[in-house]
Structure 1
Amino acid sequence: MRRNAIIFHGTGANPGVAWYPWLGRRLTERGYTVEIPHYPGLNAEPIATFLPKVLANHAIDENTVLVGHSGGAALLLAVLEHIGTTVSQAVLVAGYSTRPNTGEEPVLQPDYDWAAITAHAGDLYFINSRQDPYGCDDKQGRAMFERLGGTQIIRDDGHFGDYGQPYETFPLLDRLIH
């Protein structure tokens, strides 16, 4: 069976930082076709104009695993709402569905069709930290979990990779993705 994975980086990041290259290699070794696109407009361009570009760039089907970190996880909510298929898995790392701090968050939609998101996600995981410096914390994960179901995993691991927090591997993700 053909399997593919798309890993969306966080706000201000790129495909070469944190655990993204490591996870890409691990999944490739396991037979996945992996995309780790670079989206410099993530959380800078309004989601209404940004999302159509993202959807046009990727073939997403029932054999797809979506992984998003921080702003990339917030992007996954919009992707899941607007695709016409159900993906195998979606993993939101340090994700959020409302403003996590006082900064602008153009990646967020004004509201979400939670039923459509649920319908388009097979296994759904939320991984958040109680100690996230940006507010993408366990409370944000809980708010999404309560609306969507799935599995919530809470750690004490900061932002799971950031400029001051090298996070070059993420074995939990490798174990969760089947």
Structure 2
Amino acid sequence: MSLTEASKIKAIIVPGNGCDDVRDSVFYDWLAQRIRPLFPGGVILRDFPDPYVARESIWIPFILNELGCDENTVLIGHSSGASAIMRLLEYHKVLGAVLISAALTDQGIENERASGYYSRPWQWSAMTKNAKFIIQISSEDDHLVPIDEQRTVAKGLGGDVEYVEFKDMGHFLMSEVPQIAQVIERKMKTLE
């Protein structure tokens, strides 16, 4: 990677639904501050439109057009944010993606169904072709996204995903998650 290309690398943090103030939601602001030195192009953490349903038809254009997602972007998504990233990756190239608590189905929840992410089959091979790397972070005791779903996402992505599974991190609803930062830091150092 050339010095010019490296200077453009940025990260976009895509929150889970229900976050109408992302700077005051779980680990997002803490993570943005922690990983900022790794991204010369900046770390983007902004409130998303439609925060409670997180509709694909609203979030994907927002990520692309408003936040400027491109081939120099690392997308970091949590929960519904991970689902948004997976759908975005089916048609758009990025540098990389970090999927935290990635769901496979709407789990019978009407609000999740209304988002639109789970209405059709996932295009796993397109996702892996459109990102230079994908990291998936899961926890065995996640009470919102069953671990079997998260493992199925990893199988769908195949050998092209780096899968990290914790035993006791739940749905990653803490204000600080050093383990996530460490995984991102390690990966970004391999790109230098």
Give the structure-2-normalised TM-score.
0.79
User: Residue 66 and residue 101 in structure 1: after superposition, are their counterparts in 2 closer, same or farther (change >3 A)?
Assistant: same
The equivalent residue for 2:152 is 143
Q: 2-side partners of 1:68 and 1:45: how far apart? A: 12
Q: 5+ residue gaps in structure 2?
A: 1-5
The aligned runs of 1:3-152 (5 Å cut-off) are 3-13=9-19, 14-16=21-23, 17-32=25-40, 33-42=42-51, 44=53, 46-83=55-92, 85=93, 87-105=94-112, 106-107=114-115, 108-111=117-120, 112-134=122-144, 136-149=145-158, 150-152=161-163
Amino acid at match of 1:141: Q
Q: 5+ residue gaps in structure 1?
A: 162-166
User: Residue 44 and residue 169 in structure 1: after superposition, are their counterparts in 2 closer, same or farther (change >3 A)?
Assistant: same
Aligned CA RMSD, in angstroms, stands at 2.0
User: Residue 7 and residue 45 in structure 1: after superposition, are their counterparts in 2 closer, same or farther (change >3 A)?
Assistant: closer
Q: 2-side partners of 1:23 and 1:128: how far apart? A: 17
More deviation, 40-49/91-100: 40-49
- Residues 1:153 and 2:153 aligned together: no
Identical aligned residues as a percent: 28
How many residue pairs are counted as aligned between the two chains? 170
More deviation, 29-38/19-28: 29-38
The equivalent residue for 1:164 is none
Q: 2-side partners of 1:20 and 1:45: how far apart? A: 17
Give the structure-1-normalised TM-score.
0.84
Verify the 8 A CA contact 2:64 2:70 in the aligned structure 1. no
User: Residue 11 and residue 23 in structure 1: after superposition, are their counterparts in 2 closer, same or farther (change >3 A)?
Assistant: same
User: Residue 171 and residue 143 in structure 1: after superposition, are their counterparts in 2 closer, same or farther (change >3 A)?
Assistant: same
Amino acid at match of 1:157: M
TM-fit CA distance, 1:60:
2.3
Q: 1-side partners of 2:68 and 2:165: how far apart? A: 31
Displacement over 6 Å in runs of 4+: none
TM-fit CA distance, 1:96:
0.7
SS at match of 1:82: coil
Q: Where is the helix percentage greater, Structure 1 or Structure 2?
A: 2
SS at match of 2:22: coil
